[in-house]
Structure 1
Amino acid sequence: MKNRIAALGLLVAALPAAALELHGLKADEIAVWAAPVEGEEAIVSHRAETAVNPASTMKLLTGWAALNRLGPDYRWTTTLLSAAPVENGALKGDLYWLGGGDPRFDNGNLLTLLYGLRLRGIHKLEGRLVLDKRAFASIGGADDFDEDAGRAFTVEPDSHLTNLKVAWLTFYRDAQGARVVLDPPLAGVKLQAELKPGKDEACPDVRRFAAIETDGRTVTVKGALPAACDGKRAYVNVLDHDAFAGQDFAAMWQALGGEGPMGVARGRAPDEARELAAWQSQPLPAALADINKYSNNTMARTLFLTLGREAAGEGSPQAAAGVVRDLLRERGIDDLPQLILENGSGLSRRERVSARLLGEVLRDAARGPYADEFAASLPVAGQMGTLKKRFIDLGPRLRMKTGTLKDVKALAGYWQAADGRRLAIVAIVNSPRAPEMAKALDAVVADVVRGFDTRSSAKR
């Protein structure tokens, strides 16, 4: 009996996906490719050469290219410079903020940067804060997402991205009643709140009890807060990038007891400007983990632009796309006609890739010198990120990047069998039915995994 089961598993694992159970998916709605990392031949290949929209699984291509071209110890640098003298603790001219495009730059990092000014004895800025935005030549687009413009995941990249350009609302329900505060306190954002104490019940998400609306400059909050909402937080996307950076800078500077600056402008730091303070980010893998585990589009687009700047001399989507294509050719991955890159994040109606190309990138990453860093960036099934509630029965030997758009559901990553052999898997659904086919997609991937395990057992 065991021999029959093993033989059946070997047969199923070798069949094309069209011959497998597709769990309600139509054959032309899904592309699947799977191959052993340690082997050569694909064990599943169904519509694997077809150009499909990969949604956020495109982030794997960007991350792979970044590790290979920038290296795992790459760090972003943010610098404050000035050519003006310092007299009696006052900077007597403009302060230049040279943004490095750090995708993880937050208020904690900004405070550390500004503390460097205080250590130099500077407490007053008598000139302007000038944003030097030379890091990126152009941002590129993510077309046809206008209806989502207020959501954090659609925030565009920027050389001075801070806190992902979102402010936080912190809610309190205590002896002083129900109230909310804006963090950081941005001078150009007005908070209007009408809150009252609510019934005694659990508060898993404060947005269940507080209606939040914003036009970018006014935030309106209304509702009734249970006591359990005390300390809960929610984000709001406010202001444009320059206004947010300038007002956030001023708020953090004042929190350190500083005075100024006298307005915000754009400009390039003069050649004679000297460095007054600098911040270096954590290494690249920290950003990759945020990008892949939580599918952060803004950070992925920022990394894509950084790839172009550092590897091709221009921070633009076009330069970054050229870097990716050159690397693919170097590695002998040749499905280039199917590849369309818009912004490298998968937040795109235009981006296309074949399942085989993405699968070969996964195999190359797993065989390369940065295999550990790459794999560690992926969500672990049933435990973290976008896979926290999926594939719980398969557990931590499955690591996959997810992808979701209106007509797209995608999965790409690795399975490690009990004997240590690894399988690279890509499965992408493109269909108006995609939103309702998530369980079918998961079932297809699970079948491929179990077939591979059976095949491995049969060979032992």
Structure 2
Amino acid sequence: MARRRGWVWPTVTWIAVLTVGVAVWVVRFPVAQALDTDPRVGVGHVAARPVADAPHAVLPVLPPPSVTPTSDPATPVPTTPVPDPGTPDPDTSNPAAVAARLAAIPNPGGGDIVGVVLDARTGAEIHRIGDGVRTPASSMKVLSGVVALDVLGPETRFATTALLTADAGTVVLRGGGDPLLTTAPAPADTHPQPASLQELAAATVAALQARGISTVALGFDATRFGGPAWNPQWPDIFATSVAPITALTADHARPDPASAVRDPDPARFAATRFAEALRSAGIAVTAVNPAATPGDAVELAHVESPPVRALVGESLLRSDNDTAETLTWQVAVARGRPATPADAAGVLAEELQRLGLWTDGMVVHDGNGIAGTNQVSPDALARAVALGIARDDLRALATGLPVAGVTGTLAERYTAPDSLAGRGVVRAKTGTIRGVNTLTGYTVTADGHPLVFAFMVSGGAGQTSARAWLDAASAALASCGC
């Protein structure tokens, strides 16, 4: 018992931070921001140093419960903080115990499994299942998220701007690549709080009226990003799971917030909504057309996106495909490359290599994991999570992961008897496309050892059996005396 108390108080210190963080992230958008599944299967819920050189860090996780887990899966496992100051147990984890726990989990679905478990404080390998690269599905967002935080910086925001041409005849709506821009303001308690076109329109109208202008044409400029807007590696079946990627979009390009259907021209869709807001405020808009922003145009107003750390958290919690891919394209822009599918994927690969998150055989074609041609190793995924734990500037990667049985894409999982021990304890990113199920995240064992894991299941009987194994495997780590 003395060993267990040693890790509890430092971990509990993180609870205060994460309790706020989790409350902040649990928000409702009009519809789920992404499908963390293949739409053919069904709708789901919706320079740096390698980790080996990073300082040790205690995982900012919810601790294992100090009470018996509830047998009711509808109720998250309660946690009772134990105020006992101390330091994390310095003993190394027990690889044999981890191996035994994982080996005991049945795999009735017969899927091919590869995975790795690492000591989060040292980066040392604790256990390995199989070898090689596999399709990551939405676990790819772990890799694109850590790169976005590292390259763009956690506090960077992206502006959507209204500008006036020199002849005062045209307002240009210039997109800055804000993936969460909305038409109408979100409720005040929504987090992250998105920027809105109505807010921008109100400020633009005030600026126009101050100049005595009541009639304008509207141009819209989405040239920050190139094209094609649809990644050729994405099957058309995913057209409701992700919108064409442009630097100007609103409402995730959904004309009807209750529907998953996307507008095929997100930039024009956003500009049309902006024109409607201008007209409702008394400005006559004579035309709406694409237009490059003239160099002598003057700014009338702008609105800013939530910071990158919040965007990464949103992409992880809800498996938001639009946000993850947009951030990947923003990384390309930051590195001086065109924001196209090919360039964004190329820059992502380069950055992963720089961060030490690359192994032989890896191939990346996008940042959100929709491309079934992506091939990554469980080592890269696990070490990305470890980096998010070790570095303060990357911490949003760790805190943004869903909590098992509580939030995001894990809210309705961990209901089987062999996975209940993971509820409220495991934090992980899910990944599902046809024939692929993955889980990447971290936990703290019953003995207080912080572990990072990545498990990838391919083939087999299907999604249900694969998810059951993933939930049970991660729960086994959480409850292990390892």
**Partner of residue 98 from structure 1, selected from 174, 178, 193:** 174
Secondary structure of 1:136's match? coil
Between Structure 1 and Structure 2, the one with more strand by share is 1
**Partner of residue 168 from structure 1, selected from 214, 231, 256:** 256
Q: Give the direction of change, closer, same or farther, for the CA distance of 1:104–1:408 in structure 2 (3 Å limit).
A: same
Q: Which position in structure 1 is the counterpart of 2:402?
A: 379
Percent identity of paired positions between Structure 1 and Structure 2: 26
Contact 2:248/2:270 (<8 A) preserved: yes
Deviations 1:274-293 (A, max 9, x none): 11111111211221122111
Q: Which position in structure 2 is the counterpart of 1:402?
A: 430
CA positional deviation for 1:432: 5.3
Q: Give the direction of change, closer, same or farther, for the CA distance of 1:330–1:234 in structure 2 (3 Å limit).
A: closer
CA positional deviation for 1:258: 2.8
Number of aligned residues: 370
Contact 2:329/2:344 (<8 A) preserved: yes
Q: Within the alignment, does 1:237 sit opposite 2:262 as a pair?
A: yes
Secondary structure of 2:142's match? helix
Q: Which position in structure 2 is the counterpart of 1:272?
A: 296
Taking the aligned partners of 1:325 and 1:236, their CA distance within structure 2 comes to: 31
Whichever of the two has the greater Rg, that structure is: 1
Query: What is the TM-score normalised by the length of structure 2?
Result: 0.71
Q: Give the direction of change, closer, same or farther, for the CA distance of 1:404–1:334 in structure 2 (3 Å limit).
A: closer
Taking the aligned partners of 2:223 and 2:348, their CA distance within structure 1 comes to: 22
Deviations 1:384-419 (A, max 9, x none): 111111226222221111111111111101112356
Q: Which position in structure 2 is the counterpart of 1:288?
A: 312
Secondary structure of 2:392's match? coil
Secondary structure of 2:368's match? coil
CA positional deviation for 1:256: 2.7
Taking the aligned partners of 1:369 and 1:69, their CA distance within structure 2 comes to: 14
Taking the aligned partners of 1:291 and 1:395, their CA distance within structure 2 comes to: 21
Deviations 1:415-454 (A, max 9, x none): 123565321111111115332322122223223433xx31
CA RMSD for the aligned pairs?
2.5
Code of the residue aligned with 2:443 in structure 1: it is: W
Taking the aligned partners of 1:277 and 1:347, their CA distance within structure 2 comes to: 35
**Partner of residue 248 from structure 1, selected from 254, 273, 280:** 273
Q: Within the alignment, does 1:41 sit opposite 2:119 as a pair?
A: no
Contact 2:445/2:477 (<8 A) preserved: no
Taking the aligned partners of 2:101 and 2:383, their CA distance within structure 1 comes to: 17
Taking the aligned partners of 1:243 and 1:340, their CA distance within structure 2 comes to: 33
Contact 1:55/1:404 (<8 A) preserved: yes
Q: Within the alignment, does 1:136 sit opposite 2:225 as a pair?
A: yes
Q: Which position in structure 2 is the counterpart of 1:218?
A: none
Q: Which position in structure 2 is the counterpart of 1:146?
A: 236
**Partner of residue 13 from structure 1, selected from 79, 83, 98:** 98
Taking the aligned partners of 2:230 and 2:263, their CA distance within structure 1 comes to: 21
> Bigger shift: 138-147 or 290-299?
138-147
Q: Which position in structure 2 is the counterpart of 1:78?
A: 160
Q: Which position in structure 1 is the counterpart of 2:473?
A: 444
Q: Within the alignment, does 1:388 sit opposite 2:411 as a pair?
A: yes
Contact 1:31/1:427 (<8 A) preserved: yes
Q: Which position in structure 2 is the counterpart of 1:433?
A: 461
Contact 1:312/1:319 (<8 A) preserved: no
CA positional deviation for 1:339: 2.0
CA positional deviation for 1:297: 0.8
Contact 1:112/1:279 (<8 A) preserved: yes
Taking the aligned partners of 1:250 and 1:332, their CA distance within structure 2 comes to: 47
Contact 2:166/2:296 (<8 A) preserved: no
Q: Within the alignment, does 1:259 sit opposite 2:279 as a pair?
A: no
Taking the aligned partners of 1:294 and 1:111, their CA distance within structure 2 comes to: 25
Taking the aligned partners of 1:130 and 1:121, their CA distance within structure 2 comes to: 15
Contact 1:157/1:299 (<8 A) preserved: no
Taking the aligned partners of 2:425 and 2:464, their CA distance within structure 1 comes to: 26
**Partner of residue 343 from structure 1, selected from 360, 366, 370:** 366
Q: Which position in structure 2 is the counterpart of 1:228?
A: none
Secondary structure of 1:106's match? coil
Code of the residue aligned with 2:124 in structure 1: it is: E
Query: What is the TM-score normalised by the length of structure 1?
Result: 0.74
Code of the residue aligned with 1:80 in structure 2: it is: A
Unaligned runs of at least 5 residues, structure 2: 1-93, 186-195
Contact 2:97/2:481 (<8 A) preserved: no
Taking the aligned partners of 1:159 and 1:350, their CA distance within structure 2 comes to: 25
Unaligned runs of at least 5 residues, structure 1: 1-8, 86-91, 170-232, 456-460
Taking the aligned partners of 2:449 and 2:150, their CA distance within structure 1 comes to: 24
Q: Give the direction of change, closer, same or farther, for the CA distance of 1:355–1:288 in structure 2 (3 Å limit).
A: same
Q: Give the direction of change, closer, same or farther, for the CA distance of 1:58–1:161 in structure 2 (3 Å limit).
A: same
Taking the aligned partners of 1:329 and 1:38, their CA distance within structure 2 comes to: 21
Secondary structure of 2:395's match? helix
Q: Give the direction of change, closer, same or farther, for the CA distance of 1:432–1:419 in structure 2 (3 Å limit).
A: closer
